[in-house]
Amino acid sequence: MEFIAVFLVSLLVLFILVAGLMFGRPPVYRPEREYVLALLQGIETRATKEPVWNLFIHTPISHDDELEAYRLRCYQFDQGEMKHVIARQGINGYLYDTEGRSYIREVAKDLDNFIRNAPLSVDF
């Protein structure tokens, strides 16, 4: 009798797992432009935490090509691929030093201007 009870409970759990895998959708990373702008501005105010920042710069954004270009600029800066500015570790809770934060501030200004001047569109 115990065998049947364990078998039925295991079968139920297995069916729930299979149904979840069949009808569920995979997780996706689709940040909005305003969210990314807040992330960039949070570098200056220490509001952006390192795990969130790393998720942003290391995860490609496939749904918005313009936003991907800004992400690539931040990624190249973080990896030391920029010639005119070097990403150095910040102190006292900052992710980057003063020069790095000024570069991120420029990227944030560019993104803010892009958001303000972007045409309104509706997806149907």
List the Cα angle 55/114/110 in 5-degree steps: 70
In a domain, 95, yes or no: yes
Instruction: Identify the band that residue 113 occupies on the pLDDT scale cut at 50, 70 and 90.
Output: very high
Note whether 78 and 87 are within 8 A (CB).
yes
Containing domain of residue 91, as a range?
33-117
Structure tokens at 62: 């496939």
* Residue 25 belongs to some domain of the structure: no
Check if the beta carbon of residue 56 is closer than 8 Å to that of residue 74. Answer: yes
**Does residue 57 form part of some domain?**
yes
* Domain-located, residue 9: no
In a domain, 47, yes or no: yes
* Number of other residues whose CB lies within 10 A of the CB of residue 71: 20
Give the pLDDT confidence score for residue 95 in this predicted structure.
84
What pLDDT, in 10s, does the model give residues 20-79?
888 888 878 899 999 999 999 999 888 989 999 999 999 999 888 999 999 999 999 998
Residue-level pLDDT at 39: 94
- Tell whether pTM > 0.85: no
Residue 8 lies in a domain: no
Is 89 a member of any domain? yes
Is 93 within the bounds of a domain? yes
Q: In this predicted structure, what is the pLDDT of residue 36?
A: 94
* CA nearest to 53, candidates 36, 32, 70, 28: 36
Total domain count, the chain: 1
What pLDDT shows up at residue 72?
95
What was the pLDDT predicted at 16? 94
Give the C-alpha separation, 117 to 19, whole Å: 45
